[in-house]
Structure 1
Amino acid sequence: MRGPHNIWRLIQTGATLERTGAMKAVLDAMDAPAPLRIAARLVWPFRWLGEKGDPSMPPPSRALSALGPAYIKFGQILSTRPDVVGDAMAQELRILQDKLPPFSIAEAKKAVAAELGRPVEDIFSEFSEPVAAASIAQVHKARLSETGEVVAVKVLRPGIERRFRRDIDAFYFSASVIEFLSPASRRLRPTDVIEHFEGVVMGELDLRLESAAASEFAANTAGDEGFQLPEIKWNYSGRRVMTLGWADGVPLGDNDALDAAGHDRVLLSERVLQLFLSHALRDGFFHADMHQGNLKVAANGDIIAYDFGIMGHIDEYTRRVYAEILYGFIRRDYQRVAEVHFEAGYVPADRDVDEFARALRAVGEPIFGMDASGISMGKLLAYLFEVTERFGMETRTELILLQRTMVVVEGVARSLNPHMNIWTVAKPVVEDYIKKSIGPRAVASDLGKTLRVLSRFGPRLPGLVEAALIRQATPPASRSRSLWPGRLAALLLGLLLGAGFVLLAELLP
């Protein structure tokens, strides 16, 4: 980690915010207290060190786009949260989703030819100027020479790996400084958070991984009503280039166009939230970058998702914990929500579960009986942070991406229908998962899976049991004596256990 370089990068960040005129807008959107505003003024003499950015962009987008890919990703998330940054800034930040300055078509064709090993003209009969440019890649509309099919060709930005590494190094440096200056922040494990973020986004820099993720996602969601995914064209994809079917539809963030096309925005708001919850709980594999720039609405009303660079995965145990917590909030059973936190080890065992339940009630009760427009999610999350800090709950790195995506999806849904109640919409999906995953059928299924795993160890069980019996029953000084009685008993026991496991595994569905 390069200390001087990272210090310079952080100074440059503040200077860029000041030079582009974004500093005041950011502080106002955050409702920053006086001490923070005074500290921000210290950057003013160094504003000339900052990047100028694209003067055609609004100040916040101008600053973030000038600072690089990691900052742009942050801005993309904020663009879906008008309740946090305000409607005006949220609208300004949406330009970061797919309207960034593109690189030249000549550079794109050169990258495609180098990756696919053939001139672009031999592969595509048509290859357009960029139709969308995001933080890490841009997209061209093209037509395959062999089939005449219209496709989207995604090409990584030249030198993006180096620029991204520079930002991540600065983030690591910031995290280490925060942990040093603020011991209380260590429970949030800032360095682990950056490490997790790095691992997720680095996957975007290898489009083969994105193609594989899209293929798995398509297999999981093939039966989902009202949902479509473009098909991956494996023969025309590689590490820096990905080709997939063209998605025709209205951008999900364009409410006027959705209304003009006759789409039901209330229905769409419920569908986008329920689809996300279904993918996260049912499959444990979900689209983790579901902002408006990655979603369209087909003519038949289906939601089309694309850009699969950031996908989330959570194991089955964590999904059950998450579902129980959600279900407890939906039922307003705060005692059960508290107990689940303790059972999962999320809250230290020496804390008071009843007191924690009362604190959760203070978080949950204000949201019931109100529509989404009456709830400040920013204040709600701030209070939840205070509660978890008071009870010593550490940040769960495996849930960071899930929680972040939940915030983004809720923001997308609210942009379609400001009066949507997230809990009412979530209830049927969570209830269905609870019935299938935590009831008697789930217990039987878990037992079956366990027995199948154990049955594979059948041939090794005699030896394993024998070794265990020897360790428990034989003193060190007498291990040279005959072990035939123990071996015979172990062999018989192992054979019986192995046969029983195999038989049960075969009988279970």
Structure 2
Amino acid sequence: MFQSIRYSFSLLRAGRTLAAYDALLTPEQIDQLPWAARLLLSIAKVGARKPPKGDANPVATALSSLGPSYIKLGQFLATRPDLVGPQRAFDLKALQDRLPPFPMAEARNIIRRNLGADVDTLFVEFGPPVAAASIAQVHKARSPDGRELAVKVLRPGVDKRFAADLGSFYFAARLMERFSAEGRRLRPVAAVQMLEQSMKQELDLRMEAAALSEMAENTRDDPGFRVPKVDWERTSREVLTTQWIDGTPISDVESLRAQGFDLVKLGDTVIQSFLRHAIRDGFFHADMHQGNLFIDRAGNLVAVDFGIVGRLGRDESRFLAEILYGFITRNYLRVSEVHFEAGYVPRTHDPAVFAQAIRAIGEPIMDRAANQISMARLLTQLFEVTAQFDMQTQPQLLLLQKTMVVVEGVARTLNPNLNMWVTAEPVVRTWIERKLGPAGRLEDASMTLAGLFAGLPAMLGEAQRATTLLASMAARGGLQPDRARERHGRWTQVWLALGAVSLAAIAFSLLT
């Protein structure tokens, strides 16, 4: 009871701020409210802090004023237009995650508590913060052996603040599901659970270090892309230390041009790197905005800040690759079939009718000029159409689509005439040829064979246990010795038959 009251007051405070900024509802929605509800909104604004005049995005400004938890909530809701509507989702994409830095003394205390040594022992230089966000701030430092480092320090008390605000979010989500049929359909509790899981990873900087390490391993042979190296000796839950990136921000297009970099090639690298990570690896940087991307002196794209990452399973990776390749080749029936094979669209629908709906999306885009073709817009329209065919929301694909919007925007600042299909085609085609061609079938067969051999010890163990059990029963008189031997022979035949069938299946897959 006490918690419910506390959560209610917390939500009322947030609602009052949103109302004061005219960010709670759109003007059209307010006009449709009963007069009593409009009166309550007006009362809520009395005495509340007024928004800056001429603010073009009051939603983002209001959430920023509410603190770190609401900033992260807004960024998350930007990926869920099904929950907040397309216009609100668009407004939230502009939400900036910037807060004033916390004092150097607190940063030093956190480092000492986490790493077990004073800052002056760990670093010969440790500068003031160069960037500060809702979760952490970054300092430039130098190690005793002369390496330049970036030291990310978690904001004090941020974990407790998130825990308290998450309780309020859950309270509101449960109310929505309890009293609204539409709320139950949209499953806001599941959405808050996703936000909570994401925040748990962001609040443990060892997870970000692990993501950096995994990305480095995945991309070690990729052309034109790299990530900073982790200094594990100076990394813990609240402190992440990496190599300092001495490069040009990708947003500084004029500087990149003045240094002689090929902007068209850099734009291609941005798109192709993201697609390789998503399709080939099923693991991608989910916050690839301009502030997290640099170009080093060798012309490599360097990505930083891996607090938010996305993962696609094997089916989702194939889903994405085949969808993109289907649109590139205008094979709309294949795009439709992939949806049904992945289980995203129920079999109660007709694949041909679904293909017709997909064609209605693809053809208008294909006939546009190169600089008007948007892969992110295509995926957005596709998800809107699939909803009409009872496709359930796929959160991992929404995160992918949101990241694609950002990546496209970055690439087009470098090359306004970027042709998305021409740029994406080599990456997608290579994956299709590798995974769905003869080489892919051979790889799948090898994995099946490896799985069979891995399971053989267990199979033999089961056979041995069955033999022992039969012998024991025979010794106690439960079975005659001859009958026991007969049963044992049958078990042996079963295991041999299973092995023969498995090997035959592998041989067939290799030949077809």
Q: TM-score over 0.5 for the alignment?
A: yes
| Number of equivalences | 486
Question: What amino acid maps onto 1:489 in structure 2?
Answer: R
Deviations 1:145-181 (A, max 9, x none): x202110000000011122223433333443344445
Q: Quote the Cα distance in structure 2 between the aligned partners of 1:175 and 1:453.
A: 43
Cα 1:47–1:33 shift into 2, 3 Å: closer
Question: What amino acid maps onto 2:105 in structure 1?
Answer: A
Cα 1:423–1:85 shift into 2, 3 Å: farther
The equivalent residue for 1:11 is: 12
Deviations 1:213-257 (A, max 9, x none): 211111111111111211110111111001111011122233344
Contact 2:69/2:161 (<8 A) preserved: no
Contact 1:17/1:50 (<8 A) preserved: no
Q: Residue 23 of structure 1 aligns to a residue in which SS? A: coil
Question: What amino acid maps onto 1:420 in structure 2?
Answer: L
Question: What amino acid maps onto 2:489 in structure 1?
Answer: L
Instruction: Give the superposed CA RMSD.
Output: 3.9
Deviations 1:186-226 (A, max 9, x none): 45443323322321232011111111121111111111111
Counterpart mapping for 1:270-289 below 5 A: 270-289=268-287
The equivalent residue for 1:63 is: 62
The equivalent residue for 1:485 is: 486
The equivalent residue for 1:254 is: 252
Q: Does 1:242 align with 2:250?
A: no
Q: Quote the Cα distance in structure 2 between the aligned partners of 1:45 and 1:259.
A: 54
Counterpart mapping for 1:394-473 below 5 A: 394-462=392-460, 464=462
Runs of 5+ unmatched residues, structure 2: 80-85, 468-477
The alpha-carbon deviation at position 18 of structure 1 amounts to 4.4
Counterpart mapping for 1:183-202 below 5 A: 183-184=181-182, 186-202=184-200
The equivalent residue for 1:163 is: 161
Q: Quote the Cα distance in structure 2 between the aligned partners of 1:76 and 1:255.
A: 26
Contact 1:187/1:394 (<8 A) preserved: no
The equivalent residue for 2:131 is: 132
Q: Quote the Cα distance in structure 1 between the aligned partners of 2:394 and 2:404.
A: 15
The equivalent residue for 2:470 is: none
Q: Quote the Cα distance in structure 2 between the aligned partners of 1:497 and 1:120.
A: 62
Cα 1:374–1:12 shift into 2, 3 Å: farther
The alpha-carbon deviation at position 33 of structure 1 amounts to 8.6
Contact 2:7/2:167 (<8 A) preserved: yes
Q: Quote the Cα distance in structure 2 between the aligned partners of 1:78 and 1:256.
A: 33
The equivalent residue for 1:473 is: none
Cα 1:410–1:169 shift into 2, 3 Å: farther
Q: Residue 23 of structure 2 aligns to a residue in which SS? A: helix
- Indicate the structure whose relative CO is greater, using CA pairs within 8 Å and at least 6 residues apart: 1
Q: Residue 117 of structure 2 aligns to a residue in which SS? A: coil
Q: Quote the Cα distance in structure 1 between the aligned partners of 2:424 and 2:40.
A: 46
Contact 2:376/2:405 (<8 A) preserved: no
The alpha-carbon deviation at position 353 of structure 1 amounts to 1.6
Contact 2:261/2:299 (<8 A) preserved: yes
Contact 1:372/1:418 (<8 A) preserved: no
Cα 1:361–1:452 shift into 2, 3 Å: same
The equivalent residue for 1:474 is: none
Contact 1:461/1:495 (<8 A) preserved: no
Contact 1:327/1:431 (<8 A) preserved: yes
The equivalent residue for 1:292 is: 290
Q: Quote the Cα distance in structure 2 between the aligned partners of 1:221 and 1:141.
A: 26
Contact 1:131/1:141 (<8 A) preserved: yes
Cα 1:318–1:189 shift into 2, 3 Å: same
| Residue from 322, 344, 347 that aligns with 2:345 | 347
Contact 2:375/2:420 (<8 A) preserved: no
Cα 1:382–1:121 shift into 2, 3 Å: closer
Q: Residue 142 of structure 1 aligns to a residue in which SS? A: strand
Q: Does 1:214 align with 2:212?
A: yes
Q: Residue 156 of structure 2 aligns to a residue in which SS? A: coil
Q: Does 1:102 align with 2:104?
A: no
Question: What amino acid maps onto 1:229 in structure 2?
Answer: V
The alpha-carbon deviation at position 299 of structure 1 amounts to 2.4
Q: Quote the Cα distance in structure 2 between the aligned partners of 1:233 and 1:448.
A: 37
The alpha-carbon deviation at position 311 of structure 1 amounts to 2.0
The equivalent residue for 1:118 is: 117
The alpha-carbon deviation at position 103 of structure 1 amounts to 0.7
Cα 1:3–1:194 shift into 2, 3 Å: same
Question: What amino acid maps onto 1:66 in structure 2?
Answer: S
Q: Residue 140 of structure 2 aligns to a residue in which SS? A: strand
Cα 1:53–1:69 shift into 2, 3 Å: farther
Q: Residue 456 of structure 1 aligns to a residue in which SS? A: helix
Question: What amino acid maps onto 1:211 in structure 2?
Answer: A
Q: Quote the Cα distance in structure 2 between the aligned partners of 1:377 and 1:170.
A: 36
Q: Quote the Cα distance in structure 2 between the aligned partners of 1:225 and 1:236.
A: 29
Deviations 1:98-132 (A, max 9, x none): x4211111111111111111111111111111100
Question: What amino acid maps onto 2:486 in structure 1?
Answer: P
The equivalent residue for 2:313 is: 315
Contact 2:60/2:91 (<8 A) preserved: no
TM norm structure 2? 0.82
Contact 1:459/1:498 (<8 A) preserved: no
Q: Quote the Cα distance in structure 2 between the aligned partners of 1:326 and 1:446.
A: 22
The alpha-carbon deviation at position 319 of structure 1 amounts to 1.4
The equivalent residue for 2:226 is: 228
Q: Quote the Cα distance in structure 1 between the aligned partners of 2:337 and 2:38.
A: 43
The equivalent residue for 1:476 is: none
Contact 1:175/1:190 (<8 A) preserved: yes
TM norm structure 1? 0.82
Cα 1:342–1:40 shift into 2, 3 Å: farther
Contact 1:462/1:490 (<8 A) preserved: no
The alpha-carbon deviation at position 278 of structure 1 amounts to 0.1
The equivalent residue for 1:494 is: 495
Contact 2:99/2:134 (<8 A) preserved: yes
Cα 1:78–1:460 shift into 2, 3 Å: closer
Contact 1:68/1:167 (<8 A) preserved: no
Q: Quote the Cα distance in structure 2 between the aligned partners of 1:192 and 1:157.
A: 27
Q: Quote the Cα distance in structure 1 between the aligned partners of 2:292 and 2:421.
A: 24
Question: What amino acid maps onto 2:306 in structure 1?
Answer: F
The equivalent residue for 1:304 is: 302
Question: What amino acid maps onto 2:111 in structure 1?
Answer: V
Cα 1:303–1:54 shift into 2, 3 Å: farther
Contact 1:250/1:298 (<8 A) preserved: yes
